[in-house]
Amino acid sequence: MADAPTGGAKSERPATEAAGQNGPGQSGYLLEEQIGHILRRAHQRASAIFSAQFAEFELTPTQFAALAKIGDGGEVSQNRIGRLTAMDPATVQGVIGRLEKRGLIASKPDPDDRRRTLWRLTAKGADLLASAVPSGIRTTEATLAPLGVREQRVLIDLLGRLS
């Protein structure tokens, strides 16, 4: 199993290794080999890299994701933004509210369904998104840097299948 923080090679533990921090305890369960733990560690790494890359923009990952999908779609309903970014309704509502408060997005009634609101980037939001996209690319590159190009593609493909 790959070492999550460094992307290193498969662990080679001696069979006689004592139980404890690096070996399975009495239960035989080794936390460091569990997918949830490995994904959480990888997420922590990606989040730290994102925070460093995006500090100047004052955007969270969910805010950047919403801006990117609104930018892709032109005018997008709040429900659709949630689906596109894998955010639950309460989270997307908060994200949308914060982006609107900063003047990065604006709303209008949907002409096809007056119960629904469509969101679009403002000029300020479009400028911020254009400036932030290179940081998004650098975040991905830095997160995947411990892997070779082929390994990066395989990892992204496999994680896509899990999600």
Whether 158 is in a domain gets the answer yes
The whole-model pTM stands at 0.80
Q: What is the pLDDT along the chain (163 residues), one digit of tens a residue?
A: 343 344 444 444 444 344 445 666 788 899 999 999 999 999 999 999 999 999 999 999 999 999 999 999 889 999 999 999 999 999 999 999 999 999 999 999 989 888 899 999 999 999 999 999 999 999 999 999 999 999 999 999 999 999 8
Give me the domain span that covers residue 40: 31-162
Nearest residue to 1 via CA among 26, 36, 27: 36
Instruction: Count the residues in the chain.
Output: 163
Classify 118 as helix, strand or coil.
Answer: strand
Whether 46 is in a domain gets the answer yes
* Cα 8 to Cα 18: distance, rounded to the nearest angstrom: 22
Three-state SS annotation for 46-57: HHHHHHHHHHHH
Cα angle 149-152-156, degrees, rounded to a multiple of 5: 145
Classify 109 as helix, strand or coil.
Answer: strand
Which residues, including other chains, have CB under 8 Å from residue 163's CB and lie 6 or more apart?
86
Classify 122 as helix, strand or coil.
Answer: coil
Helices (H), 102-163: 123-144, 149-162
Q: Residue 36 sits in a domain of what CATH number?
A: 1.10.10.10
Split into its structural domains, the chain has a count of 1
* Cα 42 to Cα 140: distance, rounded to the nearest angstrom: 12
Whether 21 is in a domain gets the answer no
Whether 8 is in a domain gets the answer no
Whether 109 is in a domain gets the answer yes
Q: What pLDDT sits at residue 26?
A: 81
* Cα 96 to Cα 106: distance, rounded to the nearest angstrom: 9
Whether 15 is in a domain gets the answer no
**Hunting for tokens 């932030």 — which residue is that?**
132
Q: What pLDDT sits at residue 1?
A: 39
Whether 13 is in a domain gets the answer no
Whether 111 is in a domain gets the answer yes
